[in-house]
Structure 1
Amino acid sequence: MTIRRQPADFEVREKVSERFLAGLTALAGGREGHVVYEVSKMSVTTPEAAAALARALSLRPGQVAYGGLKDKHATTTQVMSVPAGALTAGPPERIEGERWSARLLGAGLEAVTACAIDGNRFRIVVRGLTMRDVREMGRRASLLRSEGTKEGPSTLLFVNYFGEQRFGSARHGKGWIARELIAGRFEEALRLSIGTPARKDTGVRRVFTRLAATHWGDWARLAREWPRCPERAAVEVLARTGDARRAFEALPYFQQEMPVDAYQSHLWNAAAGRVVESLVEPGARLSSADRSMVFAGCRGMPAAVREMGAVLPSPGMATGTLWGRTMLGVLSAEGLSPGDLRIPGLRRPEFGAGERALVAEAMGFVLGLPGADELDAGGRRLKRSVAFDLPRGAYATVLLRALGQ
């Protein structure tokens, strides 16, 4: 089972809240509020698209706001906003760029944030299927279905794991940056963040990760040869002071925060798997193809699982609940306690508190009929489309894992 064989196989459209859309008006030429664009992109990250929009409007990248990150290896549509007062001319109705475009929606009092987004609509083509895979997808969809029938739109329930997109450098087996931060090993955290090449690196990131891996520790040389990009500031601090903590603070804040979010997500996933295994009978469980995620069929899912609020691990988290006790066990296996979830010498980023539903709903789920996979060289494999809506923060790739990927 293969997804993202080509960008058109993975379509994502942001579902903007009615409240936010109702607040948009036609532009009146004022300097107050925010100008909102609908941005479509293909094989481009959200930060890259935001930076391109900023350049087109003669703004700084940090002046473009958006509600969430969309997949790079996909065709996606989302809203972004810029401060009306920062524009030096009237905003264009349409902007066309390389693999991205923007359409003016209007102006509003609010910048785009995650609160403006209700969820996402997905249409995904799954390729490389055998007839056995096709039957297994249908069987699993039936087990996960809580409402509707296989002939029409239905609702599936699945354990709301964080998807692999969340896990940064750890996806490549290089280790958790946040573990180095907790231990106060800022140079190693920096090396993992900006000096560790990954196969999918592109553009300027591919250049600087390979440069850093080759000459790590020669700060003067790195400062001379580092390309112009936001990460350059951290290397300049190292060349000037040798202080790795201050250098880490010089990284773009997004790049400081993501490793903490990634490690929190890893811990949350581990606790979620333990809870499902403890409350769901073995015969009612489903596993992903690689056995890394365990799910529950709808009929075998206890109310305690369906209704559980599962908090992110943080220094002040409650530990008296089933979830809290499970998280203590996960942290203990990592050699940690809740109080260890701090970064010495830094006020932020922090392991912030937050709650995430243990179970997510995939609404409007439609499983298409199988057909010949025209991209299969052997001509024997099949493809099948799936379409569904997910709430903000839930991962389509996780639902596909529940369906057997």
Structure 2
Amino acid sequence: MSIPFIDLKAQYRALQPQIQARINAVLEHGQYIMGPEVRELEERLEAYTGAKHCITVASGTEALLISLMALGIGPGDEVITTPFTFVATAEVIVLLGAKPVFVDIEPDTCNIDANLIEAAITPRTKAIMPVSLYGQPADMDEINAIAARHGNIPVIEDAAQSFGAEYKGRKSCNLSSIGCTSFFPSKPLGCYGDGGAIFTSDDAIAQACREIRVHGQSKRYVHTRVGVGGRMDTLQCAIVLAKLERFDWEIAQRLEIGARYNQLLDEIGFKRVIQRPDRTSVYGQFTVLCEDREAVQSSFQKAGIPTAVHYPVPLNEQPAYKHLCCPDCTPIAKETAKKVMSLPMSADFSYEDQRTVCNLLKTGVHDA
């Protein structure tokens, strides 16, 4: 049996002429750094999200790091975030000498619990960083309202998994002060290497981000602030431009496949991460909850079907971060990490393969 976890080959076959044409255009003009495709992509993504500014950067991690730097966050500051996410979310906070303050998650969506954020705010809180986990935005209106009540604390949406999703009719990445996404190959909109983008409608933040991504330069060899080498290269921007040709179709497919997964799993009584009715998920991962994950994964392995765990250990229990807080302060994240398992998911995932996956769940080990 051959069911890919993410079918990038099928996507490439569908887009091969556009991708090759875009790559060849870059090879012809030879502007591999900050070539015309960089600004073209930024303009296309500004139009897509509705954000005033898009700043492409070298990765989703760089997007988060540069955003925090643009806000001036550093030693002694605190950033409220979730422990149930990829390590980059906390990593960038610690790299700047600030402290991540971990708030527990909702048991059904696995996103940060907005009801717990206000109690975590202190005079040292300089940003709130919710993660749109598995492709579904968090409770952004509630989080923005909390931030506004406490002196307009900046809210950075870590939208590495949710580009293309909507929240109350608005696009992910344009839901707060700053939105950051990733174009890692497995993301809903991916390139063929590393890449990412920052979105904001604040002119000052946008200018700071643009300068920081090129070593803090306001113009050549004039360094007005400390920066990084954080540019997204022209070839990767060209690839994302080609992939935008069918991105709307891919999002529609992801929504349809996700809905079908939900229906099939409900029929067999298998627990899953749920989606709120006022938003969409682009299913960066489609994740179920298993009481005996090891046994379920074993049955999938025997059938030759890949699965993954996003994420097996909360960040506040990771060796590099557990000294920053009490590991037991987020009990739902701790328990959820033992159960989550992601299933194959991509826009080209066939109905037959999807039924095969769900039938294996039905005949394999079920939730307790």
* TM-score, normalization by structure 1: 0.24
Q: Which has the higher strand share?
A: 1
- The structure, 1 or 2, with the larger RCO (C-alpha pairs under 8 Å, 6+ apart) is 2
Find the structure with the greater CA-based Rg: 1
